[in-house]
Structure 1
Amino acid sequence: MVKFILYLENLLKLERLFNEKKNNIKLQDILELKEISRKTFHFNTIDNDITIDDGIDKITFTLLLDRILNVKYFYGRIPVKWLENDDQEGLQPRVIDYKRLIALRNHLKDHPQLAPSIARLVNGKLKLFDGQHKLAGQILNNVKDVDIKAYISEDDTHQAKKLFDDLMITNLEAHSKHKQIPFYTSTLLDRLSVIYREMLEEFTASKSADKHSEDNFINFLVSDKKHTRADAKQMLKSVIITNAVELSHFKDFTAIASRDSNYPLSIDLLTKALFPNSLYLEPSTAPFKSIADFRDAELENFRELASLLVEYGCLNDWITNPRGKELTNIQLKARRIWHKGAVLTWAPYLKSILGSSLSFITSDDREKLLYRAIMDDNQKDRIRVSLQRLFSHPLWDEPDGEIDSLLVSARKQDELFNRKGLTEMYVLTGTSK
């Protein structure tokens, strides 16, 4: 009985922590919850051994060579007090998912840890960048030392940076192309942006100014950095998307994690629905900062569009955890509008709204969308009219029933929208014909 009460108390503390931090939980939060203070240490390498000493515990490990990365590493059972998360522009920006954490904690109570968590020894610190959920689960089980594989980062700045980049790309691919537990989409985009900025600096420093364009940068990543063209274009796309969210009114409504019921939006939903219908996500051939380079203007245009979507889509009235609550009409409407299935259905209308409002003529216009001169007031007013039609349609105000059972689906609801008359033609013209 005492054990059960203690279990419930610990579970309550953990739930409270996730609620207080709005699910933005990392390894250091779990360490703090369990009152584990990080212990500093010194280390020495002699021949093929490394000895780590914190003044109380002293352990020697055998060094091995990773022939692909050409760096040394070691395996060992490491005290938890020596470890910290490799975040803050590091290799592990991902937040901890509550359900996965609980599942791993329960599993590791009765089963062995089959694979080690992975860290790097850099600047006198052991920074964990893979296996954060696994380690956090062990900590909740009061385990004091865990199996770790640790790469040794060189003191040489160039070598340290190369190891960082190599491990980051490896880690990203492991959690995207070869995923078991995937990175959240926002994390993947954010990490790619870090690499992109570093490589862009190298590109602009090594190539003449007349070659400075997005398209030539993609070619540089392929020819000089040996990335695939698909990966290189993904880096550009990630920067466009990251900047669009950070500088728009969507920022406060968008979850850090792709699946977080405390927020109406996720990077995953924006990437699938809104961005393809508003942003130009291909590399431009225009020289940077030239008269034909509209990236900055595109960000301003998207900021304006996001502001209008927040206003007319009643996003400020969206509330979390509606179960058991009596929602007002506007709160119910907001939740309906921003259900994933609804967004996937009406978001494609945006491309036609922009085309009509900004007077697209050529195929280039229809491809580049908001990648153009900053919208004038007349163009914004045209967008307002269409968005007002879209979000004031009677569909959003129907009584409880069919609409809610369908809109909670994560799939497009074209049949429902067409049957109710909320068509693209209606949004553009005010008539269904």
Structure 2
Amino acid sequence: MKRGTSFGGSKYEFKYKIEDDIIKYSYFDNADNETYKAAVFTDKLSKERSCFIDVPIEYLFHDEMINPRGINNSIGKLIKEFDKGNPQLHLSLARFSDNKLKIFDGQHKAVAQILLGTRKIVIRVFLKPNVDRLTETNTNAGSSLRQIAFDKSIMRQLNNTLYAERIKRYQAEHGLKEDDYSFSEQQLINFFKGDGANVKKYIIDSIKHSITNDKDNNLKDYIDFEGKAKELPISYSAFDKTVLSSFISSISATCQYQWGPVSMGSE
């Protein structure tokens, strides 16, 4: 994907059109003049539309918004598994955004296939999806419904994204401009009734994420975010329990501060 351009990936935009629940697409930029077709399916519950297509790696990108997690050491086990000739049981998932196919789930499997010489990968593509819902679903898959848990720092980044989406919805419902943060976190919690506990968690995680990734945080380069880099002296867990907890203890107790999303540069 984007970080693996040395293998020839992440080069071209994806172009398509849909007629009568059939998606038509081509890979002209990749010297393939054939027009391909595939069925478009609509999920009965979510109403999300998606298709299953075989895509050259030149058209695949990493979705850093929905799944910011990079490739870790588990890639080695997948390479060994696929090298035995065993099939990939679960397809990689992607969404169409900014004229690109962005993989947000199954990127380790995709990279393992690429490292073994695969040039085309079968993926499920969500077409014009509800990004907020996909982000929340992917976050839940890596936490409460997890099989392989997201690192805590990744969870915070995802919750920061969900917080930003809640703010956009609040602004839209109240006729506010994108740079108008004349409302408090408590007003957000009250507005999203029934989801208040999650919104409060998003707020706290957004603040922690912003502190951690602030350009003036001189400790950032010394933090082991994944718990595997033995050469780094500070674990993210220790940083969380000491430094971060001292910043947000009063906020988590009251949640009455009138801030915009810290990650967007507000104070």
- Length-normalised TM-score, structure 1: 0.52
Asked whether 1:235 is paired with 2:210, we answer: no
- Please, which of 41, 46, 50 is the counterpart of residue 64 of structure 1? 41
CA 1:202–1:28 in 2, change beyond 3 Å: closer, same or farther?
Answer: closer
Query: 1:92, 1:130 within 8 Å by CA — same for their partners in 2?
Result: yes
- Which structure has the larger Rg? 1
Partners of 1:105 and 1:169 in 2: CA distance? 29
Q: What residue in structure 2 maps to residue 203 of structure 1?
A: 170
CA distance, structure 1, for counterparts of residue 220 and residue 114 of structure 2: 33
In structure 2, the residue matched to 1:33 is 6
Q: 2:145 aligns with which of 167, 178, 188?
A: 178
Letter in 1 for 2:184: S
Rounded Cα–Cα distance in structure 1 between residues aligned with 2:98 and 2:11: 15
Between 56-65 and 39-48, report the one with greater CA deviation: 39-48
What is the aligned length? 248
Query: Which of the residues 82, 92, 97 maps onto 1:108?
Result: 82
Point out the more displaced range, 46-55 or 191-200: 191-200
1:382-421 superposed matches below 5 A:
none
Q: More strand by proportion, 1 or 2?
A: 2
> How far did 1:273 drift?
4.4
In structure 2, how many angstroms separate the alpha carbons of the residues matched to 1:278 and 1:36?
A: 41
Q: Residue 240 of structure 2 aligns to which amino acid in structure 1?
A: T
Extract structure 1 runs of 4+ deviating beyond 6 A: none
1:35-81 alpha-carbon deviations (Å, 9 max, x no partner): 34624442121102101102214321111001232121112332222
Identify if the C-alpha distance between structure 1 residues 194 and 125 changes in structure 2 by more than 3 Å, giving closer, same or farther.
same
Q: Is the 1:69–1:166 contact (alpha carbons within 8 Å) kept by the matching residues of 2?
A: no
Is it true that 1:74 corresponds to 2:57 in the alignment?
no
RMSD, matched Cα: 2.8
Corresponding position of 2:25: 52
Give me the TM-score of the superposition, normalised by structure 2. 0.81
Change over 3 Å in CA distance of 1:214–1:60 after alignment to 2: same
Secondary structure in 1 matching 2:11: coil
Contact 1:192 1:235 (C-alpha < 8 Å) held by counterparts:
yes
Deviation at 1:181, TM superposition (A): 2.1
Q: Which residue of 2 aligns with 1:288?
A: 258
Alignment partners' CA distance in 2, 1:242 and 1:133: 24
Give the deviation of 1:234 after TM superposition: 1.4
Q: Which residue of 2 aligns with 1:14?
A: none
Deviation at 1:279, TM superposition (A): 3.1
Could you tell me whether the CA contact under 8 Å between 1:213 and 1:284 is conserved in 2? no
- Unaligned runs of at least 5 residues, structure 2: none
Aligned residue identity for 2:109:
K
2:255 and 2:90 mapped to 1: Cα distance? 46
**1:207-248 CA distances to partner (integer Å, 9 max, x unpaired)?**
999x93333322323x1xx4251x222111112212322243
Change over 3 Å in CA distance of 1:216–1:47 after alignment to 2: same
1:84 is the counterpart of 2:57: no
- The reply on whether 1:118 has 2:96 as its aligned counterpart is no
Cα pair 1:216 1:285 within 8 Å, conserved: no
Within 5 Å, give how 1:204-353 maps onto structure 2: 206=174, 212-221=183-192, 223=193, 226-227=194-195, 229=197, 231-245=198-212, 246=214, 247-277=216-246, 279-280=248-249, 281-282=251-252, 284=254, 286=256, 288=258
State the identity as a percent: 23
Q: Which residue of 2 aligns with 1:308?
A: none
Q: Residue 148 of structure 1 aligns to a residue in which SS?
A: strand
Match in the other structure for 1:189? 156
- State the secondary structure of the residue aligned to 1:279: helix
C-alpha separation between the residues in 1 aligned to 2:14 and 2:247? 51
Q: Which runs of 5+ in 1 are unaligned?
A: 1-26, 154-159, 290-294, 301-433
Q: Which has the bigger relative contact order, CA under 8 A and spacing at least 6?
A: 2
